[in-house]
Structure 1
């Protein structure tokens, strides 16, 4: 599912899809290169499956290495200020599993604060997340609709429609 979202993004003129697992199979991140890429972007999309209520390990390593004080946040940090932050997630469980008394014990939004706070700390604009719940069992029609909606959001951003993104 995430590959289909990535392929949809890759097909849009003006979008740079940067796959960390392709770029850094050894997990040794080139911080200067990553910061240069981030500085060029107007919108940074974090596209990944939700793993144990968080991001995959290489993305966490990227956040820890690249989002440095003085560059991404803190006094004098302006590199990411004003950029869009779009979280594009897939979950294995359906939305109904994210409720009190259900499998995950909390509404899904209760798992978003670390992502939202990262955006806030870096001075980025938090956009409503693009989420496909139950991705493992989604039928083809649901997957196609989700991919089309994701593509539309990216295209809206590129057209300057910040509300449609």
Structure 2
């Protein structure tokens, strides 16, 4: 498979940004813009956002890290407090599948309080799509990438996926949360 495009950069891969220490507020109820973090880590502070006006509670797009093209999926605390809903889940799932199809590594930034409750979220069936929801659950496809980078974060359970039948799977391709 062909590698994603590479563009040389003058940005140092070892650069630091002291503003990142101030980005996330100490008050968990205070929103912040995740795009500031994305721009800070991207080469030359460039971020190409995709579907900016749709499901604003999740941000997807492309950056370069040390010249390599990287896909980014991040919850947006400035919209709906960063909660996941059906539209955000579908938006993220499609983007992850696209990145996987074109061998584009993925950077995931997670600061999510949970899934958005409500009647509209409970019944959702879209014909012809892989995501079909008919019970109170949200689905986010977590494609298995070959070179995953995992770092432990307090309060987050990683690598456990639960299906509709409550069967626990490890390293599967779908994350289903009731």
Q: Which structure has the highest strand share of the two? A: 2
Normalised to the residue count of structure 1, the TM-score between the two structures is 0.32
Q: Which structure has the highest helix share of the two? A: 1
Please tell me whether Structure 1 or Structure 2 has the larger radius of gyration of its CA atoms: 2
Normalised to the residue count of structure 2, the TM-score between the two structures is 0.30
Higher relative contact order (CA 8 A, sep 6+): 1
